[in-house]
């Protein structure tokens, strides 16, 4: 964690490009340390170095393919055990561009794994219970739990 005041750590999946990279930039500027997740380690490292130099925040990377169960479980464990985490941006994902009849079933399975299974597991089974239990805690980062997603998750997570 950085020496400056912090809002805790924001974990951003798919942080190496597009919408996720913008979230990373904006959250670092708003006082979050970052844990950036995506597959391409080199691209993640470059993004982390830039953001750290620009904002002075602590920026860590975790290369992971969230369609792979072992990588997903590794990230889940990190979310479960790292009590500095106060925000999760579930952004890694992709959309189908072909007609269903022209699509490869393996690609569709990957899409479901990333857009639905990974998002649901990261949110409901690991991070959310821990964030909600710490919501009224008086020590450590006490920001209200934050969750953002580029795809929809039902049932709603707010209460």
Ligand X SMILES: NC(=O)c1ccc[n+]([C@@H]2O[C@H](COP(=O)([O-])OP(=O)(O)OC[C@H]3O[C@@H](n4cnc5c(N)ncnc54)[C@H](OP(=O)(O)O)[C@@H]3O)[C@@H](O)[C@H]2O)c1
Beta strands 146-149 and 33-38: pairing type?
unpaired
Is 84 strand, coil or helix? coil
CA distances from residue 55 to 86, 97, 124, 138 in whole angstroms, order as listed: 19, 36, 31, 27
Q: How far is the CB of 38 from ligand X (least distance, A)?
A: 3
Q: How far is the CB of 64 from ligand X (least distance, A)?
A: 6
φ/ψ (deg, to 5) at 59: -125, 115
Interacting residues toward ligand X by CB under 6 A: 13-20, 38-40, 43, 64-67, 91-95, 114, 150-151
Q: Which is nearer to ligand X, 46 or 129 (CB)?
A: 46
Q: How far is the CB of 52 from ligand X (least distance, A)?
A: 18
Q: How far is the CB of 5 from ligand X (least distance, A)?
A: 28
Q: Which is nearer to ligand X, 11 or 64 (CB)?
A: 64
The residue nearest ligand X at its CB is 18
> What is the number of other CB atoms lying within 10 angstroms of the CB of residue 146?
15
Measured at the CA of 27, the angle between CA 24 and CA 31, to 5 degrees, comes to: 135
The shares of helix, strand and coil residues in the chain, as percent rounded to the nearest 5, are 45, 15, 40
Q: Which is nearer to ligand X, 18 or 56 (CB)?
A: 18
Q: Which is nearer to ligand X, 44 or 85 (CB)?
A: 44
């Amino acid at each position: 964690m950085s020496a400056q005041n912090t809002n805790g750590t924001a974990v951003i999946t798919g942080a190496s490009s597009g919408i996720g990279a913008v979230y990373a930039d904006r959250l670092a500027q708003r006082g979050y340390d970052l844990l950036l997740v995506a597959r391409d380690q080199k691209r993640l490292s470059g993004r982390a170095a830039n953001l750290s130099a620009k904002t002075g925040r602590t920026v860590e990377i975790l290369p992971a393919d969230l369609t792979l169960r072992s990588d997903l479980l590794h990230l889940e464990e990190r979310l479960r055990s790292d009590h500095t985490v106060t925000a999760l941006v579930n952004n890694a994902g992709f959309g189908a561009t072909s007609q269903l009849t022209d699509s490869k079933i393996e690609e569709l399975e990957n899409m479901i794994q990333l857009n639905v299974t990974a998002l649901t597991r990261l949110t409901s089974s690991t991070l959310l219970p821990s964030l909600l239990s710490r919501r009224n805690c008086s020590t450590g980062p006490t920001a209200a739990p934050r969750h953002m997603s580029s795809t929809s998750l039902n049932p709603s997570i707010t209460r």
